[in-house]
Amino acid sequence: MTVVIDDPLIASMTIKRTLPLHESSRRLRALYPECPRVYGVAVMGDLSRRRWWPLAEALTGDRLHAMFELAAEETDSRPAVTQQLAATLAHVVIGRVVPLMVLEGRAWDTGLENLWVHVDSEGAIDWVGVVNPTLRALPDDPYFDERRYVRVGHTARDGIVALPNEAALTTWVAHRSHRALEPLFAELAAISDGAMSIAAMWHIVGGAVVSAATQVPLLAGSSEVTSMRRAQAMLDALVGFGLPVRGDRRREGLAKLGQPCLSSTSVGRRN
């Protein structure tokens, strides 16, 4: 029996105008109603910003360092803490957008300047928001069926714009995610004194993409072929940027989307 959770943070959202991202996020939350924050994102304009902070502050402030030190107090293994934080960052930036991309052929902007994170009372990241809610989508997206004018640049008004094809969509998501994760991983490597290589962090990204693409069809009853094709196209794009997202190395601690109220965003939480 499915248990629907009335999440107070979601219930408190004030949506003045429903945009395509609102609709997509609602469908994503329905994939796992027991834990509605596992899939989808919030739109920052709908929320109070209590306990939210821009992900870019991980580079300009001490937030990432504080998360590392808090987690390190709970374990003697700096590599394990580094690995879990790398999985957190991978999940926040790319692990959350892959389900929407493989399921609906849509994606929000994963650029560093567009992402915010919500933390619980113990400092653990438990949700993600976007400042700009505009989606990129495939040209055959149902939203465009009777709205041909949307393709000609009304993105601010309509909240969605068509890209030419799947290759353009997956490459755009890979590029934006690469530009966001590259400085975050460099900062994490510095904070941890090289406890984990940056190459190993990118292996975690590859695992997060494959994990999401595998889980979504099981939950949604959607096409496994389409899901894996889009995920592999994203991995191809990341490889094209010179990133080691493929390989046979062990990938402990990967973000497993779809597990009961558990994601890679648990670093910093005390038991």
Percent of the chain with pLDDT over 70: 85
Residue 121 banded pLDDT, cuts 50, 70, 90: confident
Q: Which residue has the higher pLDDT, 148 or 234?
A: 234
- Answer yes or no: is pLDDT of 268 > 50: no
pLDDT at 153: 46
pLDDT at 71: 87
Residue 136 φ/ψ, nearest 5 degrees = -100, 140
Stretch 94-120: mean pLDDT, rounded? 97
Angle at 167 between CA 212 and CA 137, to 5 degrees: 70
Number of other CB atoms surrounding residue 8 within 10 Å: 7
pLDDT digits (tens, 9 = 90+) for 47-62: 988 889 999 999 988 8
CATH, domain range 8-240: 1.10.510
Residues found in the chain = 271
Residues 6+ apart with CB under 8 A from 108: 21, 41, 97, 100, 114, 130, 132, 133, 134, 135, 136
pLDDT at 76: 82
Residue 5 banded pLDDT, cuts 50, 70, 90: low
Alpha carbon distances (Å) from 145 to 5, 155, 162? 34, 16, 12
Percent of the chain with pLDDT over 90: 72
Taking the C-alpha atoms of residue 72 and residue 76, their distance in angstroms, rounded to an integer, is: 7
Residues 6+ apart with CB under 8 A from 194: none
Q: Which residue has the higher pLDDT, 238 or 50?
A: 238
pLDDT at 152: 45
Taking the C-alpha atoms of residue 200 and residue 12, their distance in angstroms, rounded to an integer, is: 39
Average pLDDT, rounded, for the chain: 87
Residue 255 banded pLDDT, cuts 50, 70, 90: very low
Stretch 177-183: mean pLDDT, rounded? 98
pLDDT at 148: 59
3-state SS assignment for residue 152 = helix
pLDDT at 267: 45
pLDDT digits (tens, 9 = 90+) for 191-231: 999 999 999 999 999 999 999 999 999 999 999 999 999 99
